Structure formats: C-alpha cells, structure tokens
Amino acid sequence: MSSTITKLNAPLTQAFNSQPSSELHLTPTPTPNTVAQRLANFATLTDALEYAANGVTGYNFYDARGNLRSVLPYHSLRQNARILAQRLYNFNLPRGSRVAIIADTSPEFVELFFACRYAGLVPFAMPIPVNLGSHEIYVQQLRGMLESSQASIALANLDYFHFLQEAVEGTTSVQWSGTPEKLQQLPRLDIEFQANHPNETAYLQFTSGSTRTPRGVVITERALMCNLQGIVRYGLEVKPDDRSASWLPFYHDMGLVGLVLAPMVTQISVDYLATRDFAIRPLQWLRMISRNRCSIAFSQPFGLKLCTMRARESDLKELDLSSWRAAGIGAEMIRPEILRNFAEKFASAGFNEKAFLPCYGLAESTLAVTFSKVGQGCKSIQIDHKTLIDKRMAARLQADGRKQNEFVNCGRPIPGHTVKIVDEDGRQLSEMMVGSVLVQGNSVMTGYFNNPEETHKALKSGNWLDTGDIGFLFEGDLFITGRRTDVIIVNGRNIRAQDIEELAELQPEVRSREASVFGVNDEDGTTTIVLVIECRLTSVAERQSLITRLQQLVYMAFGVNCVVELVAPHTLPRTSSGKLSRFAAKQGYIQRTNLEHQLSFMESGDR
C-alpha cells in the first residue's frame, strides 16, 4: 500500500508521512504492559481488542532501512476501527456482508479489518501483486475473489486502487469501492454497535495461489478463538514479557492469525517489516529482532535460507539474537538442513538452535494444527527411502549407506484437535504407516464460502478435514512427508496444479486436458514446478515460442519459475476414467529426464 499512513481521525495514532522516524520522534510501543495478561480467553475478536486497548502495547511498522515509520497502539486501533465502523454504516449492509481489502503491511489494513467486525461485516484480505508485470492476471485474481465472496465493498490504498477498479468492473455484487481516504470522507453514523456472536463468521481466508477458482475459507469467531488459544497457550506458551516480529504478509493465514491476531489477543507488542522489504533486505528482520529484543518470530524455511545466504561476518557482529526463544517454522515442507545451516551461521550472533519450533497447519483449520515443544529445537528422524516408496512405511534407517529421507517432527495437535492418517480408502493406518493427514477439531472451517462442491471434497464424514498432505504418526507426533500432487508448495506459497494447467490451456496451441503440472524436489530440497504439454507443433521456433510464453505466464501469475516440457500427443498417462494422472506424469518425466542424463553422460564419455 501507499507509504503515506493516514491518521483516520485518531490523534493517538503516530503517523508517518515522508520524514524519517527520528524527525517525527516516534517510539515503538513498549514490551512491558500496564494490564494483566489474558491469553486469548475471549469470545470474539472485538472483545479481545476492547481489553487490549486498556494497555500500552500495539503494532509497530518499520521500513526497508529499519526506520520506525508508524505506531498503532491497541487503544488507537480500537478508536480508529470504531470510527471507521460508523462510516461503514452508511452503506446499510446486511450483517455478515463481505468486505474485500487489499492487504499490505500497514495500519490501514488492520484498522479496516477490525472496523468490519465492529460493524458486523466479514472482512477478507486480498493479496498485493507478486510483481507489477502481472497486471492482467493479478486483476483476474482479484475479480475471482470478489465474485466468489460476493463482496459488497472493496477497499485498496492508492498504490493498488487502479488494480481494484479494473477488478470491480463487470462484477455484480460490489456496491462501492474506494480508498481508506475516500471512506474517511463519509459521515459517522451514531448507531449503537451490536455485539458479535461466537457462531458468526469472523473473516474469510482465501487459499493462496488461486486464480480462476479461488476458495474462501469460512472461519467463525469460535473457531478463531479456539485456534488462537491453542497457539498462544500450548504452542508458544506466551508470557507477559514476550514481543513478536514478523515479515509475513497479512493476506497469508500465518501472517494474519499468527502475527497480527495472536499478539493482540495476548496484548503483546509486535514489530513488522513489509514482505517486499524483507525480500530485498532480509537481515532487517533479524536486526529488528535484535534491536527490540523480540522473543517470538515465525518464518517459512525459505526465509531462513535467504537470511543465511545474505549474512556476512560483519552483519553477525551487529546482531544479538539471544532473546529469540520461539523461532516458529511452518507453511511449507521443513528441510532440516536449512535449519541447521541457519543455526550454524547465526550461532555467533547468539541464536540458540533450541529456539526452533516446527509446527504444522493450514488455513482450513484456521491456522495451527500441531506444535513441537517450546525449547526443544528441531527433532527429526531418518527413514529408509526404499521402504518408504515400496511399502509406504516410515521405517527407521538401520544400515549405513542406504538412501534415506529425513523428516521433521511437527509435534502434537493443539488441545481439542485430533490427527489421524488414512489410506486411499479412508481406513485409519497404524503408527509409522504413510497416508493422508486428516484433522478434526473446533478450529476446522465450516466450509468454503458459497462452494459446496469443494467443501464436500475437503470435509469428510465426522467433520474430518482432508488436509491434502501426506505423513505419518510416531509416538503421537506428526511427521509430514509431502503433499498430494494437486498442490505444490514453493517458497511457502500453495500453488494449485490445476490453476497452472488451466492457465496453459488458455493458449491456442494447448488443448483441454493435455497439460499436467507437478512439483519435483531437487537435490538441495527446493521444489521445481514442471509443466508437461502434449504438443502438435513441429516447428522448432514455434515450440520454443510456446515454451517461453508459458514460462512467462506462470511467472507473472504465481511469481515462480517453471520447467516446460513438450511431449507427443497421447504421452500423458490417464486413469481408467480418462482423467490425467499427475503422479504417473511425474514418474514419466523423471524417467525421461534420467534417460537424457544417462545418454548425455555416455556421449561425453565417448568424446
């Protein structure tokens, strides 16, 4: 969003315009609070904010250079949100109407989010563009969310408002779209606030990576508070002297629930670095932790990898990470070597590897499902590769020299939740057997908004949520071994294979059901997206043109690179019902790739 932060008629909010923080004399909200800590024991979000507003803690926003650019104490957030809620009453919307907000890391988003809840409306966060070259596809993504949610109001800051205007065109539900400044011009209606109820929808969380078929996860106030209690009491064991730091985007479930809402419901202060600034200067996140003595900070593994790659010896001498007691790791497959490399790199800066806190979750269960134990670090086990593949069994490695896989212990379910592993027929599997991960508990979504078909696929009998992940249980702890082939996780982003396939099929050279997408794990643990196309083009120039165009489209839409392979018609394997088999397509690709490598090696040997 815009770098200009508006006060929104709140004199208590310290605002940033263009001057450095030293000229504005901003000071971050303190770590010690003035009220007794309550650990998410509230019925609703607004109840939690009403209590948090009695203290002096809150949100702090930093720029790419590490300067404090704005401060939003919880008491200011409450005041600003209630004022905005009174302005939202001008639209006379039915209770539960949806409000779309393009979510940058800014005070405006947080204020609008809570304003919706005070007004009885249901907010949802829409992403900022991955890169500004994806204009058309980004607009299509926004439009899909607006249509899927049947949003009545759509808001964006000036930097992104032109995208929103384009997305709104052609939609039937959006009655008004504008900026926070435009909303501020509306009169305040003196209408008494109606209390929220635990059974009401708190917000929608759109699954990441969706373009043509976005799915909005319905999260009730009750489910949210249940999950937050599990996170702050069981998962993090939050204490009064804790302080958080985050670079995670506000439109991601881990960023929103874990690092926006969890600090507020425990009344602790939190420091933010925008995701785009972290990508350019990742060490600013670590400097923020060091300078402000933060104790809780989460990251996806690739974020730790980025910090490890960028840090120089001179940087390490400036850091003191000894305050960091809970280094949460999640949102994608956890590679132990990434954690080991980070711990080794930053040991001299005071980082304790025991701070690593692997966890597992997903938006369909609000956020958290399992946590490892605070203070025990990352635990992992080595599994025999051949037994894993042949028997789908996690057998402990017994002999040296055999190929092995190492999997991280993601811990046990939060209270009130159960995890089980099932086979393809839904039968529960015994310990160490690998299968689909199912979750049951009070944090599980009620469904996807206005999408009964996808809801039916995800929620099984007994309200068991099919997570789409593969794993096993060992001594009560969950180990994730992979993801079913319909979703690929790259740098923490969930990208549906079907979305890329549909994008490819928009090209005139690609016929329906002749594109298959899957992820392949490289030797260094990274995931490469592969797009295989059955192609009838014979010209070398035309084939290369199609490959280049598809790679550009995938990058613009999802922000990731991909390998495009063109194969002859009827190459892609299909199931007995005629559907493409991504698993078999992946195996075929790997075999072809290995054969090419062998032939190349033989040819080089001949020379």
φ, ψ of residue 139 in degrees (nearest 5): -60, -40
Give the position of tokens 């195996």: 587
**Which tens digit of pLDDT belongs to each residue from 457-484?**
999 999 999 998 999 999 999 999 887 7
Fold observed for domain 21-299: Rossmann fold (3.40.50)
**Which tens digit of pLDDT belongs to each residue from 499-549?**
788 889 889 999 877 999 999 887 767 889 999 999 999 999 999 999 999
Q: Would you say the CATH fold of 487-606 matches that of 378-483?
A: no
Residue 521, CA atoms < 13 Å, CB-side half-sphere: 13
Asked if residue 182 lies in contact with residue 153, where contact means CB atoms within 8 angstroms, the answer is no
Tell me what the pLDDT averaged over the chain comes to: 89
Per 3-state DSSP, the chain is made up of helix, strand and coil in percentages (nearest 5) of: 35, 25, 40
Distances (CA, A) of 364 to 162, 422, 449, 526, 532: 31, 18, 12, 25, 30
Of 559, 562, 561, nearest to 129 (Cα)?
Answer: 559
pLDDT beyond 90 at 425: no
Q: 417-437: string of b/e by CB count within 10 Å (b at 16+)?
A: bebebbeeeeeebeebbbbbb
CB atoms within 10 A of CB 399: 7
Contacts 24+ apart (CB under 8 A), 543-551: 546/507, 546/509, 546/510, 549/507, 550/504, 550/507
**What sign for the dihedral angle of Cα 141, 144, 149, 152?**
positive
**What sign for the dihedral angle of Cα 463, 468, 469, 470?**
positive
**Edge-to-edge strand ranges of the sheet holding 515-521:** 515-521, 527-534, 562-567
Of 38, 16, 19, nearest to 28 (Cα)?
Answer: 16
Q: Estimate to the nearest angstrom the gap between the alpha carbon of 156 and the chain centroid.
A: 20
**Which tens digit of pLDDT belongs to each residue from 102-144?**
999 999 999 999 999 999 999 999 998 865 456 877 888 899 9
In this structure, which CATH number among 3.30.300.30, 3.30.530.20, 2.30.30.100, 3.40.1370.10 belongs to the domain 487-606? 3.30.300.30
Burial (CB count <10 Å: 0-12, 13-18, 19+), residue 262: buried
pLDDT at 346: 97
**Which tens digit of pLDDT belongs to each residue from 217-254?**
999 999 999 999 999 999 999 999 999 999 999 999 99
If one compares 594 and 36, the residue with the highest pLDDT of the two is 36
Q: 338-349: string of b/e by CB count within 10 Å (b at 16+)?
A: bbebbbebbeeb
What residue spans define the domains of the chain? 21-299, 378-483, 487-606
- Band (pLDDT 50/70/90 cuts) for residue 597 is low
Of 468, 243, 435, nearest to 369 (Cα)?
Answer: 468
Asked if residue 270 lies in contact with residue 304, where contact means CB atoms within 8 angstroms, the answer is no
pLDDT beyond 80 at 35: yes
The pTM of the whole model exceeds 0.85: no
DSSP for 254-280, please give it: IIIIIIIIHHHHTT--EEEE-HHHHHH
Give the CATH architecture of domain 378-483.
Roll (2.30)
For the chain, the first-to-last Cα distance in angstroms comes to 58
pLDDT, average across residues 401-421 = 91
Of 248, 210, 202, nearest to 227 (Cα)?
Answer: 202
The C-alpha atoms of residue 540 and residue 555 are separated, in whole angstroms, by 23
φ, ψ of residue 589 in degrees (nearest 5): -65, -45
